[in-house]
Amino acid sequence: MTRPVVLTVSELTRRIRHRLEGDPALAMVWVRGELSNCRLHTSGHLYFTLKDAQSSLRCVMFRSQASELGFLPENGLAAVVRGRIGLYERDGTYQLYVEEMTPEGVGSLFLAIEQLKRRLEAEGLFDRARKRKLPLLPRAVGVVTSPTGAVLRDIITVGRRRFPGIRLVLAPVPVQGETAPPAIARGIRLLGRLPEVDVIVLARGGGSFEELAAFNSETVARAVHACPVPVVSAVGHETDFTIADLVADVRAPTPSAAAEMVVPARSEAVRHLSSLLGRARAAAVAGTERRRRRLGLTAGATVLVRAPDRLARLRQQLDDLGRMREVALARHLEQSRAALAALGGRLDGLSPLATLKRGYSLCRRLPSGELVRSVAGLAPGDELEVLVADGEADCIVRAVRERDVGRGGRTW
């Protein structure tokens, strides 16, 4: 009789592992189930159980794969995972080594955004108590958006219509793609450091959920929260809602509506200033009349009947004060009107249109409309559009010549 082969536990387990890992059908499998017992280890590895109504499967996702997930797996989430079957010899149990995970029924981008919303809300970034009021008459309005497209043109058109000469400072950024979130955050920080910028408009046109992803990023949300001046978010259409809208001080349904909010109508500003001056004058007159009546009552008191000379002096002093008040009020009114006129002239002088009238021009590449900032990249035969103060002209490049210039800046 042949003696049976006796294996140690380790030997048997190793044979089973080799048999499992040598099966090509188990080298790459897709499995659907519900996540439970999710645990993210300090090493970065993700451990969880995938289960259905009848069975459960132990799973592990190593740090290199888990770090690439755009969301944090949660208990109860239905998911489809891809991986290979193996056996963990120490426990003698088989498990799935997961390389890819996709939420089922909800996209990973949507899930990541919802989780980010909950986290930022818990930190207080959405609190209404921290929302700031918009300035009545900003010295300059910062705009963070794409330098091409209808959004910037709409903001410029509305701003000039409401207050000719209002100064706009543009931070040109991409508004979608992987480079958009850090670029938008840098634009917000740059404009926030300019002393003349009193409010910032963050804007882009409508788009799909994926195209608006930059404005649902944590990078942009924290830049808006840290901005030292109020931020108006005007992203997408009225029905679109992003995390940037929740963090911003004010949400505008469209970029044009944002321009209406931050740029006052010049006529309204003049009426408001005139109203303030009128109220100040009425208050001064009313105060003088109250003192005059009080003095009249005091003059009739028994204790002062025998002091006509003192009352006469008081009446004369009151008359003198009244005349001084009229002169001072007239001077203040004239100074305020002169200051308003000077402010209007200064704002007109800062207008981009005034810059064009001084002989400057704006050059764009056709048909893309991209601004030409350097001769680098231009070639004979390129079509250009040149904008001057009273119109525009389509041109063709005949020759390109470079010249040495110092480093300069660009302003609006």
Amino acid at 279: R
- Count CB-CB contacts under 10 A for residue 377: 11
CA angle 227, 232, 234 (to 5 degrees): 130
Band the pLDDT of 71: cuts 50, 70, 90. confident
246: pLDDT strictly greater than 80: yes
Close Cβ partners of 362 (under 8 Å, ≥ 6 residues apart): 356, 371, 386, 387
Band the pLDDT of 412: cuts 50, 70, 90. very low
Judge whether 143 and 155 are in contact, CB under 8 Å: yes
Q: What is the pLDDT, as a whole number, of residue 298?
A: 66
90: pLDDT strictly greater than 90: no
What angle do helix axes 150-162 and 255-262 make, rounded to 10 degrees? 30
37: pLDDT strictly greater than 80: yes
Average pLDDT (150-154) is 93
Of 49-53, 218-222, 257-261, 407-411, the range with the lowest mean pLDDT is 407-411
Q: What is the pLDDT, as a whole number, of residue 410?
A: 45
Digit-coded pLDDT (tens) for 160-176: 999 988 999 999 999 99
408: pLDDT strictly greater than 60: no
More confident residue, 89 or 30: 30
404: pLDDT strictly greater than 50: yes
More confident residue, 106 or 40: 40
Band the pLDDT of 409: cuts 50, 70, 90. very low
- Average pLDDT of the chain, as a whole number: 85
Q: What is the pLDDT, as a whole number, of residue 68?
A: 87
Judge whether 48 and 59 are in contact, CB under 8 Å: yes
Judge whether 130 and 231 are in contact, CB under 8 Å: no
* pLDDT above 70 coverage of the chain, percent: 90
Q: How many CA atoms lie within 13 A of 224 on its CB side?
A: 36
Helix, coil or strand: residue 208:
coil
Digit-coded pLDDT (tens) for 285-323: 778 888 877 877 765 655 555 566 777 777 788 888 888
Digit-coded pLDDT (tens) for 107-139: 666 778 888 999 999 999 999 999 999 998 899
Q: What is the pLDDT, as a whole number, of residue 411?
A: 40
Q: What is the pLDDT, as a whole number, of residue 254?
A: 92
Q: What is the pLDDT, as a whole number, of residue 128?
A: 93
405: pLDDT strictly greater than 60: no
Dihedral of CA atoms 102, 106, 111, 113 in degrees, nearest 10, equals 120
396: pLDDT strictly greater than 90: yes
Q: What is the pLDDT, as a whole number, of residue 141?
A: 97
Burial of 121 (0-12, 13-18, 19+ CB in 10 A): middle
